Each structure stands twice: as C-alpha cells, then as structure tokens.
Structure 1
Amino acid sequence: MVLDRRTLAPAPRGMAARAALHSEAVRTHQADAPVGGDSEAEFLDCQVEISTTPATTLADAALELRGFRRALGEFARGADALICSAGTPYGSPRSTAVTPKERYRVIADLMGGLTQEHFVNGLHVHTEVTGAEDRIRALNALRPWLPVLLALTANSPFWRHQPSGFASWRSILLRRLSTMWCPPLFADADDYERRIDRLVATGAAIDRGSIAWAARVSDNYPTVEVRVFDAQLTTEDSLFAAALTRALVTEPPTAIALESEAIDASFWMAARAGMQARLVDPRTGEVAPATSIAEGLVRALRNSLDAHGDLEVVHARFGAIQAHGTGADIQLRALEEEGIAGLRRLFTAH
C-alpha cells in the first residue's frame, strides 16, 4: 500500500506505482536481470497487487519479491511516499479512491459504506494440487490449522492513527463480508461447485473470484489458495508463510474434525491476540496456547518442509517470532519507542 510519508495515511498513487514497476521491469529485463512476476490494479488506488511467477523454491520467490520491493522503494523515494506492507495502514485518508475498473465499481456498489473502510492488504499463497478431488481434500484438511497460521503472521495492529487492540485488524474488517474466515467442510468437488454457484446466485458475491474465505480452491489455477495472511512486513515473513502453506497443503498433519464455530472462535482470538492467543488445538480439540499449537505444527511438518528444502527457513523465522514477536508486535514496539517516526523508519527499512 502506498502511504503519505508525513501522515502514513493511504495515498491514491497505486497507478503511478504500477507504472514505475512496469518501467523497472523493462529496464531490468534489458539488463538481463528481470524483476519477474507481475503487478496489477487492486480495489483501491492506494494499493499495488504483486504476484510472483510459479516457483518450486523459496529462493526463486525471494528473488522476485525483493525485486518488487526494491522497485517500489525507489518509486516511493521519488514520490515523497512510503510503501507499507501490512494488513492495514496506520493513518486514515480523507477520501477513498476506488481503482477505475468496472469489476471494482460493481464491488464498491455492493459493499456500500464498507468501501470507505476497506483499506486491507493480504498475502495469498497458491499451492499446486493435481486433481479436483485432491484439492477439496487438501482444503478440508487445512481448515482447523488456519487460525494458527493467522496467529503466526498477524501484521495489522493499527487503525485510524492508533492501536486497534488487535494483532490483525484486517481480519476483523474482513469479517463483515458475505464470505470470510472458515470455509465450509465440503463433501467433494461437486459439492464445492454447487455451493459456490449458489453463493454467487444470491448476489452476495459478484462472481466466484470474490468468494473471500481464508482458504479456497482457485478458479483460475489448479491450486489451493490460502488467503488468511495479512500482507507481511518483510520478504522473509512472506517466505515463511509460503513454506508453511506448501507443507500443510501437500502433507497435512492429522487433525480431528472441528466444528466451524470452534475454528471461527479461534480465528477471532488469533486476530485479537496473535501468538498470545488461546486457540482450539486441531490435534486434540482442547484449548491451548497458540505458541504450543504452532510448535506442534512445525514439528509435524518437519519431513515435508525438509523435502522441499524449506526447513531451515521456517526454523529461523519461527525462532525470530518467538524471540521478537510477529509483524504486529514489531510495529507496535516501533510506535511505542519512537512514535510515528519509528513506523516511518520501519517501513522504509523493509
């Protein structure tokens, strides 16, 4: 998200930022060192959506993510702006500028007054799964683990120039949409298709792409798409989320069948307290600290992480979270210690 450097409020400079990214991609391609990936318009004109090309290694994804961040940072320095990779901004704008695109106009009309507060940014991780039925099985297996993924990656503590009291205020804002948080448990691929079509038919979602559960089957790619994450403060945080997601989708740990209300209650607590939350443990059905559930998850995923070459990255980042907190904790600490100047320094550094 593009922010005004002085107020840290969203600034409608997304189209200019995307133009700068395109120019950088052309320049670096000519130098045989392409930025890679793609950038697109997002719902609000303060936002920039970036997507990496499909990658088999974290190193490949990291190269593109760092290229995007470098190019956006250069744009911001020349535009008296900041680039903030967080679930919500610190400041509030005086008005909301929707990107001039027909689909976004329709969404804004449907959302009404919610549009004025929809300053939310997320990280979506796609994992390829061959076969429609296998994708549904993977989606079902993911459901109980989604809250602890949110707890580990919460990165939106602010709203309207002050702490919101939540580690992931983005998750709370999104709760107001017609579909959000825990996806249903599906019988099979036909059941998934039938229920998606019915939701769209009600008009509560304008199309299949606007279904906003924390995880879903992609409509455009043969992937399971995990959408629970706030936009992440650093490239390393994004890689951590991607590695956990791939391991969970490909080899999900054994879990009991949790009721949707138990998962959603855990979602709320993860959004509220991050790694200090108490959640329903998918392994036992009992309430436990998020820290112990996360430790158990990392242990259970060890073989899958190791097979993909991701174990060292996950252990390093998990250790950093245990020592220094999540992105939300780091943002709050920067504000407490240095005020708004601390947040400027934090966002500029990353």
Structure 2
Amino acid sequence: MDRLVNTVRPYAWGSPTAIPTLLGTEPTGEPQAEMWMGAHPGAPSRVDRGAGPVSLADVVAADPEGELGAATVTAYGPRLPFLLKLLAADTPLSLQVHPDLPQAVAGFADEEARGVPVDAPHRNYRDANHKPELICALTPFDGLCGFRPPARTADLLDALGVDQLKPYADLLRAKPEGDALREVLTAVLTADPIAMTDTVLRTTEALAAGATAEHASYAEMARHYPGDPGVIAALLLNHVRLQPGEALYLGAGVPHAYLSGFGVEIMANSDNVLRCGLTPKHVDVPELLRVVRFEAGAPGVLRPTGEPDQNYPAPIGEFRLSRHVLDAAAPTRTLPPGTPGILLCTAGRITLRDRAGTQLALEPGQSAYVRADETVDAAGTGTLFRATTAPTS
C-alpha cells in the first residue's frame, strides 16, 4: 500500500474552507473545489516507493496486471477504472449530463477525426469513456437530479406567476412526458438571448419571494448566474438535499447539478461533460439534446446497506464505494484483495496494516492506494471510505 499525495483543484465554485478544514491546513483564501485521488491524467496522485514521488498513472501503466489484477485489466483496460474525489461546492456547478459508453466512444472518435484539439474549449469528448458517478454527502448537500414529472413542474412554473413561463407550463401539460421535456428544454436553450435574460430576471425575483426551501435553493442558484437560460432549465429538475451518509448515483444522460455542500465523489475515469447551462463554458445544444434522456422520475437517494460496513450500490462495474465506521471497541476490519483500491479517511485516525506488517496511519483527508493483490487490515477510531471496482469473475 502507498500513501497518496493528491492535487487540489481551485475551480471558482469551490469552498475556501471545507477541504483545508478537513486536512487541518490553513485556508489560502482561494477556492479549493476538488481533491483528486487516482490515476486520471488530468491530476494523477503521486506515490513514493523509494525512488521519489512518481505519478500513480505511470505506476499503473508500467505494470497494469500487477497493480490492478488481471481480471480488472481484462474487464476495463490497463488503467485504474475509477477516480475518487473530495468535492466542496460553495456555489452551484454547471447543469450537465454525461454520455453513455457508446456515445463517448463515437463522440471521441468523431472529434479526433475532425482534428478538434483535446484541450479546445468547444471540445465535448476529451476521452472515449463514460462517466457515471456517485456523490456521498459529508455535510448537508444540495443538488438537482433528473427531470421532475412534467405536471409537477408545470404547477411550479404557474405558481411563480411569471407570464413568460406560461408557454412552457402549457407544453408540459399538453404533450407526452418525453416530448414535453425535450420541447421545453430545446425552447429554453434556443430562445432569443435578450428575451431569455428578461425571463430569467423575472423568474429569479419570483423565486426569491417564494416561501419554500426549494424556492430558496433555486433563487440562490439563479443569483450566481444572472440571465443564464440554465436557470429555467434547472426548474425542470428534482431538487434534492442529502444528509450526511446519503448518496446519489448519476447515470448516463441524467441532467444534474451540484448546488452546495461537501462530499466524497466517485466516478468512472473520465472527463466527458456536456453542459446545459449555469456556466460561461461551451454549450453544444444539438449534442446535448442527443445525449439527454428525457425521462422523469424521483432522484433515488441511496442509503448505505450493511452494518457496520456500509455499501453504496451502483449498477456499473467500474467502481464501488463503501464506508467503514471504526471505533476502539470494534474488531479490526479486513479489506480483502482481488481489486485495486483507494482508502480515504474522513474522520478520526485509522491505521492500515498489510500482511508484511507494514503500517500506515491515515488522518482526515489522507488516503492510500492498495494494489489488487494486497490484503489490508484497518483499525482505529474514525471513518474510512473505500473505493474499489466491482469483483470480476
């Protein structure tokens, strides 16, 4: 097992305090949005096996089967299949969706063939992988996830009393679910920018005057993106508040946005994002509409299964997330071999021990990488998150 040295990414929406507080470091005054743990080429973790710090991506590339196990390489290729993050949002992230695997493969190949630079601002597909993800709350966490049933959204729009929203409400009631959602989202994203700015302004004022927590969350979101059509698009989505320990799984084509809070996020090892709004970045409306799944439903909050070792089920194989709450009176947890893993301490002090007798202590915000062939025991008092892949046969 190896202690990880990780990169914190300073995106503008990040909290200046949440990650430093967990790490026990002094805030810099600048936003610290995400801490990446894994082997993604954008910000790979570093390990030191005696010759100085090296990229975990390079370590895995040098011996994929030795690091990941033959079964993982066969199933997912010669790279760590998941990326683990600490995510700290002070202001809303962009409203976005992720492609499924065939869409990502085709989209990446098309942009490569057309010679679109991989770092171009208008590039949609930066790799050929899908990006399902799961967020587990460490603090109360607000987000938007999936389409609300159209009739309920129509009621919300009518209750705001904004004349410009009435055509959208009428469409939502008049058409079948999928058609209604597609037509309204298309109309919002292709509307005249000047007219839409006025609509967003009036909607923001109505939300600010609303009486519910949902109104307040939408109003706060709108305050950060004045005039952005994503504000109206966001009203089509379910608002959800996670309590600590609860999670959301976000599959392909599901529109979503994180609004505020601190959590542990795990995803397939990809950076493919198609944005709908709440951002100054590129929005490719035709490609977005091709990827979005126009299906309404409840957001599906996940509560962990098992006790005391708690698991968050996910319908894909690239990752599994579990939470282990340890105390001095509890027996040592044995984390079995077979899949590569990353262990993250979020509270207390956890001591890891491998079969060779090597020990590694983790304090809040510290993490370790575990090869697929290593058995690790965990003991102490605190909370340990474990990221792995699904077992493969």
Instruction: Indicate the TM-score class for this superposition, using the shorter chain for normalisation.
Output: under 0.3
| Larger Rg over CA atoms | 2
Query: Greater share of helix residues, 1 or 2?
Result: 1
Query: Greater share of strand residues, 1 or 2?
Result: 2
Tell which has more relative contact order, 1 or 2 (C-alpha 8 A, sep 6+).
2
The normalised TM-score by structure 2 is 0.24
The normalised TM-score by structure 1 is 0.26
